[in-house]
Amino acid sequence: MKRVKTARPSSRTGTLSRRKFLAGSAAAGLTLWLPRHARGSEVWGDLHPESWPGTGGNALPTGGYKVLEIFAYGGLSPWETFYVDDDSWRAQRGFFDSLRDACRPDVPVTQSFGDLGTRVQLGWPTSPLWFRSGVVDNSLINRMRVVVLRHDLLPHEAAIPFSLTGLALGNPRQAGSAAVIGRRAMALAPDRFPASCVLMPDRGAASDNFVAAASVGQLDPAAAPLVLTVGGDGGLSALLSRGGDDARAASRDRLAAAYAGSYEARLTVGPDRLRSANFDQYEVIRQQLGQASGLATMLEGIDLGVADEAACSGAGASAPALDSSGAAIQAATGLLNQENGPRYVGVVDIGFELFGGAGYDSHFNNHLAVGRDFYRALEVLEQEIAGGTLDLDDTMVVLSTEFGRTPHIGLEGDAGRDHWPFGYVSVLLGGPVGRGGVPAQGYVGRIGGDGRAVADDSYTPADLRAAIYMAAGLNPLQPSEVFSIGDLSSNAREGSRVDEVALQNLAGKFFGV
């Protein structure tokens, strides 16, 4: 058995790192990592000042921006949303026109966007971001960048973790953005709790690996996010109360401490304790149970329940339906507004209805997945912005997905599209984009007429993740547990092999700073 030098538990030496605290069970849908103790002057993930080219209004704020990510699980079609590039909407115009006529006839069919002119536009399912109070309003899309991405992984099981981490399955560094940004937040404020969160759906195909959103990779395990299930707390409140008997809980804690100390002595040889990941996890569960009451207080104002809501109901859609999107986004903004709360919240969005196992996996009825489900997600997002719950001056919104859908109608069902990783989009809204007051709307990259991303003008999931980390105020290339410069595409770094130059190029392309 390999021996490693590890810090002794805080009950004996006071130097235990922040590690995992599991409060509940799989039914409760909760995985929780609590604040570790400060480690001297360590500041993990510092971004070199020369890496960020913006100054004045484009300067990166101290600590970076908070991040809200909405991951359209299943694969969002770009052709009717953020990359409408032909009049027929890639042979689905009729379906979408019928849905619009039934649901939002006052919304224009398309909206001009960015520097590609009239050839590429936004489709009406994205209209909550540009048709506000009954008129076209550019205030949000002036702070929006649409990024063209590409990869070659067709199965959900491989594409989802690649898109959520920027690294392929099997790479030991494969960590989700929640862990990376949470790790940086902990370095700046060791008492922050929780540093990051992921909101998972209570439905969907778990085998699709969307749990990669909470993966840690080679980071300190203390960086793992708080994971909550949207769709009911599964008895979480009762678990956090620890039975409501403080006296008995204290007695049990003392007994557990005695047993833990005895067991740890058996793992210790000379000055060193043998590596035991399971014991480390147990120790923090035991030692950090005192944080349960604080978590319960934080969650008092967060509603994880999913209610039936009226949905866009034309063209055969059913309404009302379970509004998972709305519940998750509202809970996410509530978490981001917590004092000393998370710097990153990720939402795995399944929309109103599961199509073939995932909300946006639209092998049939693509117009409902996009024109009803995704429209609703953006509608709730805009409501949170308009209501002041979500401030784009301190939070960047990321709209992501594992791949797009085919530019032609699929063969598996009515009006459907199949998997298409060869040219699709993600969206960056707010944060550094247009922060200085100058419109920054535009496309980052291009997709050709064949539906494939243009090779010398498109990007990869690693490029997108690295840019997100920069906006969050950390260097994605140092330390090495996250990315190395070789993980970025040549397009993103413009061929540079110098970290600072590559990151300047990345910030300029993705944020326009």
Give the model confidence (pLDDT) of 182-217 as tens digits: 999 999 998 888 899 999 988 766 778 999 999 999
Burial of residue 283, with CB atoms counted within 10 A of its CB: 0-12 exposed, 13-18 middle, 19 or more buried: buried
Q: Dihedral through CA 237, CA 239, CA 245, CA 250, nearest 10?
A: -130
Specify whether the CB–CB gap between 408 and 90 falls below 8 A. yes
What is residue 197's three-state secondary structure?
Answer: strand
Q: How far apart are the two ends of the chain, measured CA to CA in Å?
A: 51
The model's confidence at residue 4, banded by pLDDT at 50, 70 and 90, is very low
The model's confidence at residue 56, banded by pLDDT at 50, 70 and 90, is confident
Question: What is the Cα Rg of the chain in Å?
Answer: 23
The model's confidence at residue 103, banded by pLDDT at 50, 70 and 90, is confident
Closest CA relative to residue 510, chosen from 481, 474, 482, 469? 469
Q: Residue 15: its pLDDT value, please?
A: 30
Closest CA relative to residue 253, chosen from 290, 206, 199, 293? 290
3-7, 359-363, 385-389, range with the lowest pLDDT: 3-7
DSSP-derived secondary structure letter, 48? P
Concatenated DSSP letters of 204-241:
S-GGG-GGGGG-BTTS-GGGPPEEEEES--TTHHHHHH
Specify whether the CB–CB gap between 170 and 318 falls below 8 A. no
Beta bridge partners of 426: 147
Residue 504 CA to residue 507 CA, distance in Å, equals 5
Residue 335 CA to residue 330 CA, distance in Å, equals 9
- Which distant-in-sequence residues (6+ apart) come within 8 Å of 439 by Cβ? 138, 142, 143
Q: Residue 492: its pLDDT value, please?
A: 96
Give 259-265 contacts, CB < 8 A, sequence gap 24+.
260/9, 260/11, 260/286, 261/11, 261/12, 264/8, 264/9, 264/12
What residue has token string 């840690």? Answer: 216
Q: Please say if the pLDDT value at position 12 is more than 50.
A: no
The model's confidence at residue 353, banded by pLDDT at 50, 70 and 90, is low
74-88, 309-323, 353-367, 405-419, range with the lowest pLDDT: 309-323
Tens of pLDDT, residue by residue over 120-134, are 999 999 999 999 999
Q: Residue 301: its pLDDT value, please?
A: 83
Q: What percent of the chain has pLDDT over 90?
A: 59
The H-or-E segment that residue 177 falls in is helix 177-188
Q: Residue 280: its pLDDT value, please?
A: 73
Read off the pLDDT of each residue in 22-32 and give the average, rounded to a whole number. Answer: 36
* Ramachandran bin of 345, using left for φ above 0, alpha for ψ from -120 to 50, beta for the remaining angles: beta
Q: Which residue has the higher pLDDT, 353 or 393?
A: 393
CB atoms within 10 A of CB 128: 23
Q: Please say if the pLDDT value at position 24 is more than 50.
A: no
Q: Residue 288: its pLDDT value, please?
A: 62
97-101, 141-145, 349-353, 401-405, range with the lowest pLDDT: 349-353
- Which distant-in-sequence residues (6+ apart) come within 8 Å of 289 by Cβ? 21, 23, 242, 249, 253
Concatenated DSSP letters of 403-422:
-EE-SS--SSSTT---EE-S
Tens of pLDDT, residue by residue over 411-453, are 655 788 999 999 999 999 999 999 978 899 999 999 999 999 9
Read off the pLDDT of each residue in 294-314 and give the average, rounded to a whole number. Answer: 78
Angle, helices 461-471/499-511, rounded to nearest 10 degrees: 90
The number of residues making up the chain comes to 513
DSSP-derived secondary structure letter, 23? -
**Which of 210-224, 298-312, 494-508 holds the top average pLDDT?**
494-508
SS in 3 state form for 94-133? HHHHHHHHHHCCCCCCEEECHHHHHHCEEEHHHHHHCEEC
Q: Are β-strands 419-420 and 32-33 bridged in parallel, bridged antiparallel, or unpaired?
A: unpaired
What is the residue-averaged pLDDT of the chain?
A: 85
Tens of pLDDT, residue by residue over 227-284, are 899 986 667 777 787 777 777 878 888 898 899 999 999 999 998 888 787 787 677 5
Specify whether the CB–CB gap between 487 and 463 falls below 8 A. no
Q: Please say if the pLDDT value at position 21 is more than 50.
A: no
Q: Residue 17: its pLDDT value, please?
A: 34
Query: Residue 258 corresponds to which tokens in the numbers above?
Result: 């005695």
Tens of pLDDT, residue by residue over 29-43, are 444 433 333 333 458
